[in-house]
Structure 1
Amino acid sequence: MIETGDLQAALPASLARAGGGLAIGLLIGIGFGLLTGLSRRAEEAFDSTFQIVRLIPFISLVPLFIIWFGIGEEPKVLLIALACVFPAYLNTYSGVRNVDRRLIEAARTFGLSPVQITLQVLLPAALPAVLVGVRFAMGVSLLALIIAEQTNSRAGIGYLIFVASGALRIDLIVACVLVYAVLGIAIDLVMRLVEKLLLPWR
Structure 2
Amino acid sequence: MSQNIIIEFAFNEKRERENQKFYFNYVWGKILKNWIKITACSAVFLFLGFYPIENFDTSFFYYFFKYGGICLTGYSLVMINQYFASKKHFKKEIDILIEKFRIKNEPHFIILNDQSIEFKNPFTTINTVWENTSYVISGDYILIIPINSLNYIIHKSEVSVFEFETIIEYLHKHSKHRK
Tell whether the structures are fold-level matches, with TM greater than 0.5.
Answer: no
Radius of gyration: which is bigger? 2
Instruction: Name whichever structure is richer in strand by fraction.
Output: 2
Greater RCO, CA 8 A, separation 6+: 1
Instruction: Name whichever structure is richer in helix by fraction.
Output: 1
TM-score by length of 2: 0.29
